[in-house]
Amino acid sequence: MRLIAATALLTILALPAVAADWKSDYKVVRFGVLSSENEKDRVARYKPFEAYLKKTLGVDVELFTAGNFDGVIQALAADQIEFAFLGSSAYAAAYTETNGGVIPLLTAVQEDDSTGYFSVITVRCDSPYKNIEDLKGKVLAFADPDSTSGYAVPNYNLVQQGYEPSTYFSATPFSGSHEAGVQGVVNGQFDAAAAYINNEKSGIPQRMVSKGMIKEGEVCNIWMSPEITSGPFTARANLPAELIADMRAALKAIPEADPAAHKEMTGAENSTAKGYVEVDHERYQWIVDMRAWLKAQRKS
């Protein structure tokens, strides 16, 4: 009996050391953010979250950005960063690139309890374009090859609806980011551009209005996709389980632990994200399958 009690006591005493062990191997924890908006605003938006993580995890934390989505995906694959906020398609790309070496942890939940968003095609409101038929022979800008709402979903769904982008439009360039695409529409560089919205209050166009980049009522959506599963906050699968658990807990707690950082990170005044829910890979398998379909179409 004494032996059992002593063993139990030793186990309890050892738990804190085990839980904190990852900190001896990871002096710096790095998380990546996709290029949905310009670099300056992207960095500013995630700085409060970076500070929150440093305080909560008790280690240095660094934000990682890249000029395109693939830069963040490759950083995960090369073990250069530990975590990343990914869109659904970027997660699927990372999953494929790493042969299943990434784990989806959490995704955002909105005020209406939805955990999805929508791809939209935007045009200038004062343009003659009111539907996809009006865009025949015009320039439609996609955002990035690894963007869910900015390329994969609109491309896939337009094909299913009978509009093969490569032949229906005069050109389908990549703008580099959602904001650049919408800005290009406003400036007359593109006739239309793919972006995303969470709902009528929150999304890329609404955020650009709140930042003074475009005017209210300057762009309108003329097409919307079926609902897309929100992208996951993702971890490398080869990380210590304790590190993954601590990061998951930190992100899940931020709406109450640091409301200001959470609000800034999710879009400041036009954000409708209220928190996070846990997700698994099965939720995103259809995106993996869609990307495989798109790849096969390009090869053929």
80 shares a domain with 160: no
221 shares a domain with 91: no
121 shares a domain with 219: yes
d(CA 45, CA 67): 16
Domain of 86, in residue numbers? 2-112+230-299
236 shares a domain with 214: no
The predicted-structure confidence for 87-99, as pLDDT tens digits, reads as follows 998 999 999 999 9
Q: What is the pTM of this model?
A: 0.74
What is the pLDDT at residue 222?
A: 98
In Å, what is the CA distance from 88 to each residue of 97, 194, 288?
14, 16, 9
Evaluate if residue 19 carries a pLDDT over 70: no
Evaluate if residue 126 carries a pLDDT over 80: yes
Report the chain's mean pLDDT, rounded to a whole number: 89
Phi, psi of 50 (to 5 degrees): -60, -45
The predicted-structure confidence for 140-186, as pLDDT tens digits, reads as follows 999 999 898 999 999 999 998 999 999 999 999 999 999 999 999 99
102 shares a domain with 7: yes
128 shares a domain with 108: no
* Band of residue 200 on the pLDDT scale cut at 50, 70, 90: confident
Show which of 199, 229, 259 is a domain's final residue: 229
98 shares a domain with 238: yes
What is the pLDDT at residue 9?
A: 41
105 shares a domain with 6: yes
Evaluate if residue 23 carries a pLDDT over 90: yes
SS3 content of the chain, % helix, strand, coil (to 5): 50, 20, 30
156 shares a domain with 93: no
Show which of 208, 229, 250 is a domain's final residue: 229
CATH number at residue 167: 3.40.190.10
Evaluate if residue 1 carries a pLDDT over 60: no
